[in-house]
Amino acid sequence: MNFLSFRKQFFELGCFSVHQVYAWYNDFDKNNLTRWVKQNLLIKLRQGFYAFPEYLTQRDFSWYLSNRIYKPSYVSLHTALSFYGIIPEAVTKITAVSSLKTAEFENAFGVYSYQKIRSELMFGYDLKPFGNRNILFASPEKAILDLLYLYPFYNSVNELEELRFDEDFMGNDLNLERLHEYSKRVENKELDKRVDLLLKTYNL
C-alpha cells in the first residue's frame, strides 16, 4: 500500500478509524498503520483511531478529536468552563462526558478524560464551529451542571468558592432559566441543593 495514495484518501478527514480504512479497501494490511506510526507519518490516538501529524499545529483540533475517538461524547466540565472564561485556570486535560464507561486516553494531541453520565443526561450541548469542523460542546449551564453532578463534593460554600467562577459571567451571562430547566431534567434532589447553594454563594 502506497502511503501517498492512503494520505490522499484520508487526510481531509483529520481523524479516521480502522473501520473506515477497511470500508475503503477491504484487503488493507493493518501492519501498514503500525509501520507508518513508527515512521511518524501517522499518530495513534487510541486503539483503532489515527490522525496525521500535520494537524498537531491546527488550533482546536484536539477538541474535535475528543468527539471523534469516543462516541457518544461532548466536551464539558473543566475544558468547557475554561473555554467560556468561567474558571480562570488553563486546563491541561480535555474533559468530556459520555454515556459510555469512564475512560482516559493519552496521545500526542493531549490527554482525553471522559466521565460517565446516564444516557438520558446527554443533553445541553450543541455544535460549535471551529475552523471548517464542528465540535459537540456543552453550553455553559450544562458544563456547570455536569460538574456539580459528577463531583458531589462541591456541596459547601468553601468548596464552591474554590471554583473561583467568574463573577461577571455569573452575574451577567449565566442563563438562570436554562440552568434551572436543565437541573429539573436531571431529577436529582442533591444536585438541586448544590445548584441552589452555588447561586447563593454567588449572590444570584
Using DSSP's 3-state secondary structure scheme, residue 197 falls into: helix
Question: Is the whole-model pTM more than 0.85?
Answer: yes
Residue 145 to residues 5, 22, 65, 79, 198, Cα–Cα distance (Å):
46, 40, 23, 14, 11
Give the pLDDT band (50/70/90) at residue 91: confident
Averaged pLDDT of the chain: 94
Here the cell at position 40 is 511518524
The pLDDT of residue 130: 83
pLDDT at residue 92, as a whole number: 86
pLDDT confidence of 59, banded at 50, 70, 90? confident
The mean per-residue pLDDT over the stretch 66-92 comes to 93
Rounded Cα distance, 98 and 137, in Å: 12
Assess whether pLDDT exceeds 90 at residue 6. yes
Residue 199 has pLDDT above 80, yes or no: yes
Percent of the chain with pLDDT over 70: 100
Evaluate if residue 138 carries a pLDDT over 90.
Answer: yes
Is residue 132's pLDDT more than 90?
Answer: no
Q: Taking 90 as the threshold, does the pLDDT of residue 1 lie above it?
A: no
- Using CA atoms, how far residue 30 sits from 7, 17, 108, 134, 183, in Å, is 15, 11, 21, 29, 46
What's the confidence (pLDDT) of residue 156? 93
CB neighbour class for 47 (10 Å; exposed up to 12, middle 13-18, buried from 19): exposed
Using the structure block, give the residue that is written with the C-alpha cell 442533591.
Answer: 190
